[in-house]
Homo-oligomer: A and B are copies of this chain.
């Protein structure tokens, strides 16, 4: 019996209704309208002709059967799938670029650098380290367990759902999918329905390369998503906006499903007056205008002094002219806004900022084009500071100093990334220690994504969990701790103090045995042994030489 819940009066398009499930007696009824600010995912109905209707229950059941059959567990099988995926990337570069052109009018450079190459590099890294990552870990053990084996196994969760977003429709879907496969899971992938061409590309191409029983594709929008979330899944990996993220999280609780939520937020940039301003401007504008700002880690707004603001704006004018020419609409390097709804949202933001625009400000509804725009002297009360911008508009909020910037940042939700530009180590340290954000990047933007040893993810409203590199593998892996003992008489004798009838003597014995002591560190023992070996060997050789020479 679904409960009536107050209807949200806004111009909502999503209506995810998670119904009661028979299996759990008091399932929370969740029925939430996403509001207009959900920028990344799941909003809007399916824009292209609906794919042949799939029975989602059947797909989930099939996924469950595949996992139960055990075929996804052997390491060889996983490696084969991953290699085949790599082949898919290599063989379909042009098709991928084409899909991105259709969906976002993405330039070749951005398509290759930010999606295709990025996927290839991450997967190569996974394959290079696959044997290492998948090996059961043998953590150090104390003196009590010398006779035992202590192992941590890498178990797959089972059936994993990966939900992609439209802004980087390949990367944000296929990168976590690869992690899930590497970890031995069966994966159900749901591409974003808003990136129509890419969704179609995935639905058509992936099955040619991957095991169709183990990687299942569900195309569709909120309706399909709602249906999917009713089922028991073993892990949910969602990339998208915060509001739908909350719905997904709430749905996951029904079956106690763990989640990774890669959400967004307004990522600030703080710039002080110690920087190389020319380089700073380029690095900020590049991070902002790739994919015309439709990037979850794009710098959202700048905090700096009025002086810095003026310099930034001046240099920006030249840089933008150099990059996109006199009429940026004619530049082949600027993407377009994904759909009309988002265009209108951005148009409204530009209009609301009219009086404060320092650069740009033009838009063209026909072409879904919004020019790179910088807005000056913005204050907290301005509309543009309400939600994640997710478009090519860059507001500058003047602050007096780093302290004020920190206060400003801490008064808002925790961002996905905090960008700091300063050559003053003290300032950097202040920001590192006194703010909280998913990640940080100092003196550049977006490039932190290129470091595979840095886990990527949000905190607070910007998300839960992380991935990239080994962390992608670990995200989809349950670390199963294991102690293996044996029946040796000595072990039984030592531990028999635990059995009743209890006595103070027995307690003392076992308590002493279990006591935690500061263990001597053996970290440098191998080095010491190697050194001693070197000395020993040399000595041996000299001794032998001596004997040999004496014999002469």
Contacts and interface: CB of A to CB of B under 8 A. Distances in A.
Interface of A: 1, 3-6, 8, 24-26, 28-30, 32-33, 35, 68, 70, 73, 107-110, 112-113, 117, 120-122, 124-125, 128, 139-142, 144-145, 150, 152-153, 155, 157-158, 234, 242, 245-246, 249-250, 252-254, 256, 258, 261, 263, 275-276, 279-280, 282, 286, 323-325, 331-333, 410, 423, 428, 432-434, 436-444, 447-448, 450-456, 459-461, 463-466, 478-487, 492, 495-496, 498-504, 506-507, 510-511, 514-519, 526-528, 530-539, 542
A30 B463 CA distance: 22
Contacts of A465: 258
A105 to B, nearest CB: 13
Contact of A155 (B122, B153, B459, B492): B459
Contacts of A117: 511, 514-515
A121 B256 contact: no
A514 to B, nearest CB: 6
Most buried by B among A110, A423, A440: A440
B250 A246 contact: no
Contacts of A276: 487
A432 B73 CA distance: 12
Contact of A442 (B484, B492, B517): B484
Contacts of A140: 453
Contacts of A433: 73
Given A443-B486, A501-B323, A542-B542, A455 B518 contact: no
A148 to B, nearest CB: 8
A115 B447 CA distance: 48
B434 A70 contact: yes
17 contacts: A4-B4, A70-B434, A117-B511, A246-B253, A246-B254, A256-B261, A428-B484, A432-B482, A441-B484, A442-B485, A450-B514, A451-B481, A456-B481, A466-B481, A531-B534, A538-B538, A538-B539
A257 to B, nearest CB: 8
Given A3-B5, A144-B450, A108 B455 contact: no
A172 to B, nearest CB: 17
Given A109-B507, A436-B158, A459-B157, A516 B485 contact: no
A43 to B, nearest CB: 14
Contact of A437 (B157, B480, B501, B535): B480
Closest CB pairs A-B (n = 7):
A534-B534, A538-B538, A448-B483, A139-B453, A109-B502, A454-B481, A121-B516
Contacts of A496: 282
Most buried by B among A254, A492, A516: A516
A504 to B, nearest CB: 8
Nearest to A280: B487
Contacts of A455: 152, 479, 481
Contact of A28 (B30, B324, B459): B30
A227 B416 CA distance: 29
A323 B467 CA distance: 51
Contacts of A124: 516-518
Given A125-B516, A152-B455, 16 more contacts: A1-B6, A3-B5, A28-B32, A117-B511, A128-B516, A142-B451, A256-B463, A276-B487, A279-B487, A332-B502, A333-B502, A444-B483, A444-B485, A532-B534, A534-B537, A535-B538
A120 B117 CA distance: 51
Contact of A533 (B447, B448, B531): B531
Contacts of A519: 128
Contact of A249 (B256, B453, B499): B256
Contacts of A70: 434
Contact of A507 (B112, B463, B502): B112
A495 B279 CA distance: 11
Contacts of A122: 516
A253 B258 contact: no
Given A249-B253, A480-B439, A3 B26 contact: no
A294 B534 CA distance: 57
